Each structure stands twice: as C-alpha cells, then as structure tokens.
Amino acid sequence: ADGGAAAAVAQPTCSLKDNCNLGDNLLALPAADGAASDAKVESHMASIFEDKVNYSLKLFADDVAAAATAANAATVLDVLHVAGNLSELHHSSSSSSSGSGSAGGNFTLRQLNADDDQVEDDERVYLYNIGKRFLAFSQPFDAARNPDASPQCRWQMRRYLQALNNFDLWALKMHDASGKLNSGILNGNINQPGDFDQCLGIQQQQQQSASGDVTNGDDNVLRGQYCLAYAQPVFPHKSKRLQAFFKQLQSHGPFRSEFNDPGHRVPRYSLVNWGICVPSGCTYRDVEYSVAEYLRNQTASTGITFNVRVEPQMCQVRDPQPWDRNTTWAVRFFVLILSVAILSTVYDRCTKTQQKQNDWCTAFSLDKNLRWLFSTNSSPGDIEAVHGIRFLNAVMLIFSHKSMAMFFNPYNNRTAMSESLGQPWTVIGRAASLYTDPFLLFSGMLTSYSLFGRLMKRQPIRLKNEYVSRLMRIVPPLAALILFCTYVLPLWGSGPQWNLVVGHHADICKQHWWRNLLFIHNYFGFSEMCLTHTHHLGIDTELFAVAPLFILGLWRWPRRGLVTLLLLCTVGTAARYYTTIVNQLSNYIYFGTNIQRLFRTADYMYSFPPHRSTVYIMGILLGYALRKFQGAQLSRLQLRLGWLAATVCVLASLLGPAPMGDINYVYNSTHAAIYAAFAPIAWCLFFSWIVFVSHNGYTNKLTKLFSWRGFQVSTKLSYAIYLTQFPVFFYNVGRRRHIHHYYNFVSIILDTNEFISIFLASVALTVLFDAPFQNLKKLLIKRPSAIAKPKAAPAAEDTATAVSCNTTTHPHSE
C-alpha cells in the first residue's frame, strides 16, 4: 500500500502545459503526519517541477538541440535544487513548532551554494537563445571585412562579436548604438543617426592586445567609435513604380546633392546618413568598405546599388586631447578682453561722480557700452526709416538662413515636410539673396549722404581716415568671431554632424583666415571660404573702397557722373542676366535645386562685386538725391503714382518667383535670369521710395512704423546678429543627436531658444568688441568739425552727417 501511494505521488496530477494550479495539486495530497508527509510533499513537488522544466526544454529543442540536451542533463539537479529549497523552508517551519531538525534541509542549502556554476550554465542557454533572436532582427556590423583592415581592427572586431554572442552588456550597447532601419521609409525616414552618446560611452578594458600580449593602460581599452556613413542609392531602372518609390524615399528631392558637393554650408539632402558604432581600432576606410559590402549583399539581384563614403572627420572617439598652443592663446585672449571690460566697468562706476573721466579707461566699460546699445536717442540728421527697413530685412534673412539650416536635421517625416514646403508661399524663405540687397543699398546711400554733406559744407575729406575708420569698425568683431569659431567653439560640443558643420569650418579658417581680414575671401569660392556667411563683408568693403571715386565724379560733373553711374547699373544688370543664362545659375532657391548650381551661383554671381554693384550704385544715387532734393515738394498725384510704382515693384520682386517654389517646378534658365537681373532693382526701389518720402516729411503708417525709435537698437546689434546667427545655427545642428518630427514651418523657424542665443551672443560681441573699438576710434581719429555729443552715445560720431554715415554703414547681409 505504501509503495502504491509513493508511486501515485511520483506522477503529476495534471497537464503542466495547460498551466495547472500548483497549489491545487499540493492540496490534493492526502494528509499525513511527521516526516513521511514532508517527504511526500517534496517528492510531489519535484515531480511537478521536473515535468514543467522538461516541457519547457522541449519548446527549445527545435531551434537549439544541443542546448536543449544540455539543459535536460541539468534538469534533475534543478529539481533537486528547488525541492531541497522547499524542504529547507518546510524544515525551518516545522522546527519552530516541534524543535526537531532535518538533515535533508541542511543538505539542500549546501547543494544550493555548490550548484552556482550549473545555474550560470543554464543562464547561458537562455541568453544564447535570447541573443540569437535579438541578433536575428539586425545583423551585427563587421568592420573587419575589409581585406586591408589592420590587425588591431580584426582583433577588436573578433572580441566584439564574441562578446555579442556571450550577451555581454558592452557589446550589446555597441550593436544597439548603430542605426537601424525604421518604419516610415516612404515618408523620408531614411537617416538613422543611431545613439551617439551610447556609442562613445563604451570603454571596455581588454586582457589581451592585438599582438597577443597581456597589457595594461589606455592602449588596451576598446572604445566605441561613432562613424557617420553617407550612402547614395542608384536606381538604373526606368520603371515608373521604382521611380515613384525612389521619389518618396528621397522626399521629392528639395535639394539634389552628390558625394562631391560641399556639405558644411548646404545640406547634402539626397544622401542617406547612417550612424555606425564600431571599435576604435578600425579606420574610416574599414567602415566604408564594410558598409558598401553590407549594402551590396542586401540589394543583390535587385538592380539597386549604393555608393558609400565615410569621411575621416566623421568618425569620432571620446578621447579628450590637451589644447594646442593656438587654442590656449585664443582662450587667454578672450579672458584678457573680459578682464579688461570688468576693470573698465569698475573704473567707470568708481569715477562716474567725477566731472571728467579718462575716456581711454572707460572705452571697454560694460555699463557705458550697454547704455549706448539700448539708447533710443536719435541724432540730428539721422535717416530714421533706414533702421526699420534694415530690421525687416534682417529678420527675413534669419528666417531664410534658419530654413536652410533645418534641412541638416534628421526628420522621420521628411517627405511630408517637403510636400508642405513645396508650395508657392515658401518664397518668403527662398529669396535669401533678395534680403541682402537693401544693406548694400543703404551702405552706398549713407556713404554718399555723408560725403556729399561734407562737400556741400566745404569740409575736407580725408580718405585715409575714412578707410581706417571703417576698418576699426568692422575688423574687431570679425576677427573675434573667426578666432572663437576656429579654436574655441569646436571645444564646446559634439554630435553626429559636429565635425561637418563646426569642425570643418574651423579647419578651413585655420588655413584661410587671413583672406577674411584682407576682405578678399569672396574671390576664392564658397567651398574654401572661412565662415561663408561673411562673404558680404568683402563685397561691401571693396565697393566702399571705390565709392569715393563715383561720389567725387558725380559731385564735380553731375550730368556725366549720373550718366556714367546709370550706364554701370545697366551693364551690371545685363551681366547678371547673361551670366545666369550661360552658366545655368539660380539666385533663387527653387524646389529641387542642385547643390552644385547653388555653389556656382555663389561663386559667379552672389559674391562677385561687379554683379552686386547695381544696388550699391542705386544707394549712391539715393544719397545724392536726399542731399540735392532735401525738402522736395511732391503733389498728391506724384505721391500716389510713386506709391503705386513702389507697390508694383515689391510685389513683382517678392511674389513673381513664387511658382519656382512649387514641388513640380522644373528649372528654366530664362526665369532665373529675369529674377537675377531685375528682382534686386525692384526690391530696392520700394525701400528707396520709402526713405525718400519719409526723409522729406511725407509720412504714413508704414513710414512711421519703419521710423520707430526702438529699431535703433536693432541697427546697433545688426552687425553682430549678422556675424553670430550661422555659428548658433550650426552649433545646434552639430549637437542634434536624434530624429525629430516635423509639425509645421512656424514651429521650426520660431525657435525661441535659438533666437535668445543669437541675441545674447550679439550683445556680448557688441559690448566687448564693437562698441569699445568705436570708442577707441573716436579718440584716435578726430573729425574736422567735431562738436559736443551726448554722453549716452559713446560710439556715435561727432557731426550729424558723420553720425548718419557711421552708425549705419556697417554691412549686414546674409
């Protein structure tokens, strides 16, 4: 009877694959007393768990037969382990009530400690199966497939793949940090940056070097290396279905780019950006070869091919290096300037109650320069409408430049974004070149207005002082920005595209900074230009250098001078038209524009002074008209006709090219030539009319708006805003880690944090470099008819005409 009972207990009472209740099986046992009952419970539990584990192992047998066999061998020990543990718990409970011990329970505790290795073996079985299924979703990337891979790369990759098979956490992080193909491919979600910080955070100490020797130190640390690979799909088929697929994949191609296109200024939008995490021992060539082979295997027999490139600077390792000598001196320079500003401010505050202060000691005073910056007191003879017009064009330029910078960022719905932006209303952001022309117009106007005023008063004109004054006005902020962006800004951040939009600019500036300070950098092309957005400084400075010749000729021979200037305007207009037709250029960023065409336009048109001279000469003529026809009397009919013509000009220049922004637009050289030739003239005629009528006292709501005194602050800041906006934009692009979602144009453009950063950077550049050197310029260069000036305007000029010239002649452009 006892044997039959034992046999009955040894069999499970239900089917475990149906997940029967364990407590019900235990309660089903007959009650018994003493050790015999305990043995029955333990035996029954062992039988149930053994059947459960055997059934679980059977589920793995189809995929991993060997692992299942090993697990079956360990099943009995596992059951004894669990049963012994239950026995120990039961023994503890019974000993508390009866005071008796159990030898079987003590044996189970010893067995639990002794079987730790066996438990680890069982864990490896499960981890092996988990890892196998985990890696089945995405194949691990092997950068050592390059036949020319270094021994260190091969050894580190072998160590990485072994660790991945062992389910080591650091290897899983490296695999997980690489970009994976996500959903939304047809919505343009093709850029996969991966996890930049997770990749660079990997540091695994290795026990064996590439040569096989056991070493210690940093040389034997396997670090994560992040590489951003570029891939360009090629579809040789003429199939309409494939072409439609490719069009969706490329988000309709708002920018068409190639590998050889410079990517530091304009985004290479057509390329696929793929973030890869590999061991630091592998080179960019190893990654490039392996990515190309991987894509070739994935697209075999499809007719689709990929061109792959990995640039050296796009592979990054977190390995802090000490500052070089130039960086150290750059940091010391900025610390010195800040220290001088603080000392000057302290002196200014301590001596402000005295009747006379030393102007040399207060030149860098933060209090003094901030008072001047935010002062809205207008000077006599100031052309007030200029401030509002410049503010409007400066804001439009910021929006245009921001819209260009946003195309660098990865979005998971680029196709929807392109469809939203491929509409005529986006002409507002596509006409960036148009918004730079009023600054050239006013530069010529104010130079002419100032010099004609002196000539009318029979005052001597010292051209040497004029040139030195201008250089002291624009060189210090420009030099400070070049120094900062070349040696300091690269230390401030990191990111997948950091070396492209920040580091690459710094490398160019290390070689060609002198061109910018000589203002000849606009002749060497955009691709090799230090801080490309400063090209307008070169144009404006070169035109300013020859402006006195035009002004003196117009003063001495009015008719001949006028005819000559009008002839030069005509020649410049015809040259823009002809150059656009011959070289297939486009001054307007139409939908689907080619990156190579944009750079050719910048080199042959946008940064070439003769082609930009038309609006500058218009400014010279406008300044002459303001002096010659000051207080002109206009009839109501003349005013109406003038406003009608001005309105037609602004609508034609701004809305005329709107169809070129449509998603289905096809480039037409005639359209581009007409826009390049006549749009700048029409746009500047509108603002010239506003300046002329407002200066002669014919005001309306629009002229009053442009003449608002608060715009004087923006005028003083506009040069610094012009210099700092692109470094801020590219700083944020370089730091962008992850993919974002595009909602609407307004939410992207109106980035409050970015605008605040630009404002603060502009204020810092103005009060530390712009205003102080204007104060020094006043002390060094004396005007021939200096009069007392308000203390609140330290950087203003002495005479009314000089004020009008120098507070507004600094260039502001793109």
Average pLDDT over residues 309-329: 92
Please report the pLDDT score of residue 49 as a whole number: 52
> What is the C-alpha to C-alpha distance for residues 800 and 336, in angstroms, rounded to an integer?
35
Q: Give tens-digit pLDDT for 341-380.
A: 999 999 999 998 888 889 999 999 999 999 999 999 888 7
Please report the pLDDT score of residue 797 as a whole number: 36
Average pLDDT over residues 86-91: 42
> What is the C-alpha to C-alpha distance for residues 759 and 531, in angstroms, rounded to an integer?
19
Which string of DSSP letters, residue by residue, matches 592-633? TEEHHHHHHHIIIIIT-HHHHHHHHHHHHHHHHHHHHTTT--
Residue scoring higher pLDDT (234 or 667): 667
Question: How distant, in Å, are the alpha carbons of 178, 306, 733, 740, 796 from that of 312?
Answer: 18, 19, 19, 26, 49
Residue scoring higher pLDDT (138 or 510): 510
> What is the C-alpha to C-alpha distance for residues 34 and 460, in angstroms, rounded to an integer?
123
pLDDT at 795 over 50: no
Please report the pLDDT score of residue 2 as a whole number: 46
Beta-ladder partners of 233 = 306
The pTM (predicted TM-score) of the whole model is 0.80
Handedness of CA 675, 679, 681, 682 (dihedral sign): positive
Q: Which of 537, 554, 539, 546 is nearest to 628 (CA)?
A: 554
Please report the pLDDT score of residue 570 as a whole number: 97
Q: Which of 31-40, 330-339, 709-718 has the lowest mean pLDDT?
A: 31-40
Q: Where are the domains of the chain?
A: 2-131, 141-317, 326-331+374-806
Q: Which of 332-336, 634-638, 781-785 has the lowest mean pLDDT?
A: 781-785
pLDDT at 100 over 70: no
Helices and strands: H and E segment counts in the chain: 33, 7
Q: How confident is the model at residue 739 (pLDDT cuts 50, 70, 90)?
A: very high
Q: Which of 685, 701, 555, 676 is nearest to 604 (CA)?
A: 676
3-state secondary structure (DSSP) of residue 204: strand
Residue scoring higher pLDDT (181 or 325): 325
Average pLDDT over residues 387-401: 95
The tokens 């200066």 sit on which residue? 695
Average pLDDT over residues 507-522: 96
